Structure 1
Amino acid sequence: MSEFSTLIYSVKDRVCTITLNRPDRLNAINDAMPGDIANAVKKAERDPAVHVIVVQGAGKGFCGGYDLKDYAERDGELPGSQDMPWDPMIDYAFMHQNTLDFMSLWRCHKPTIARVHGAAAAGGSDIALCCDFVIMAEDARIGYPPARVWGVPTPSMWVYRLGPQQAKRMMMTGELIDGKEAERIGLALECVPEAELDAAVERLAGRLQGVPKNQLMMTKMVVNQAYETMGLSNTQMLATVFDGVSRHSPEGMWFRQRAQEVGFKQAVAERDSGDPIAAAVEKTPYDRME
């Protein structure tokens, strides 16, 4: 029996490959996956034979995000959506642990590469952007659509990788961009046709795996401390609190109710249509400020 229920762990030629393995659900994040990722990273950290970690997805894509079809359509309380009144600290504790698990890819001492094909959407983009390097297929897509309703990206790596203007673009619109655009704005290190994706990842991993582990560790620590000094941990704390608020705001409650009424796919289509979401929600005191 595998020690991981949601991924495949393998090591070859100094490279550890972590393959997200729920292809029937587009590798959607369930309750077990964040912990599996953190434990796999910890295992690779302890292995002296590993110099580089590659994260990829099985099947048609990298990761389609949290398994919101299950979370949004299911009745009753669940980790991401409490009955009202809700306790924000219960929500924070749950989501903060997921953020810590994803950030194990950023904070581990070995370089990490996200190999992105298909889609790295919503929580899938969180996983990819917690890696040190992102290499994408030209037609792959990355973004955080729940930023329109029902989510705030808790690792909040967008601002640290893109700067304020492009980060606001991605987080305010919930836009999905392809690999070419991701490379143009500096989100991806490289984009290539999907048929060449393995070769591109192997080129970078090959350059890294020949460097002594202590050199890789020192360089990564130097770069990462600069971002910690900029306030990365505080940004993530605020984003995680706001993520809970977004799922329990009037619009967030409407979205979950709509998913239960018409199904998750139809609710998402309405969310992403460009039509004003507030029109479907009863006016609140906040609206009178506009």
Structure 2
Amino acid sequence: MRTGFATLLVLLGCLLAGPAVAAYVLVDEITDQQTYLDAVTPLADDPAIKAEVADRLNAGLAGSVPDVARPVVDASIANFVESDQFRRAWVELNREVHPQLLALLRDEPGGLAVEGDAVVLDLGVVADEVKERFVADRVPLADRIPEVRGRVEVVSGPAVRQAVPAFDLLEKLSVILPIAAVALLVLGVALSARRGATLVVAGIGLVVAMLLVVLAQWLARSQVTARSPSPEVAGPFYDALTGTLTVVLWVVCGVGGFLVIVGSVLSRRRN
């Protein structure tokens, strides 16, 4: 009876472990600005991101550049997105975007703009840097080119509106869930009269729980990209913001496997 109750506690801990890991890692990844910047900064080297930004900047200049200067402008933009100047502008852009992203997810004023059915990322900082690049590249009449307007539709508005209550719940549970999961697992093992067997159950339970979150993560990515007006942008952003979660999930899987091994050894010694 004692071991059965302990096993029940362990299974409850494993059940909570999946959402606990997801809540803790994702909330920290999104709410902490430096962690967010560390995650999205490498996107400046992503070919899909660079291509999309270049396309949007070119589209923002439609009709405002003489045809004779268009090849030079296109070349200047192409050189810009390959430069260190773009990488610096990308970091500054995301530094400005971060509080807007949080406001959007928390349903507060000042969030990222939602136009029609899409969340729009204004490339303002990047666009300003492009104008400087035009002057440096000696683009004809660069000083007369009007303000560059670059905007990227990142994810669908309905998808974000559905994510708002989920993010609110994640923030509230990001501390409570991990504590509860660890407490249940430790208490279950401590109370068990057959700790070896209980450790095996805990290890298997953790592995299964983490694999289920990995599956949910993969399905969520498919949904986000499928519903995004710019899947080539949404996909890399999703991967960047969930990359740490993926690593942590596999680490916990490894911990689960280790518990299975330890539990098996203890059970054999007991026998």
TMscore range, shorter length: under 0.3
TM-score normalised according to structure 1 size: 0.22
- Higher share in strand: 1
Structure of higher CA gyration radius: 2
Tell me which of the two structures has the higher relative contact order, counting C-alpha pairs closer than 8 angstroms and 6 or more residues apart: 2
TM-score normalised according to structure 2 size: 0.23
- Higher share in helix: 2
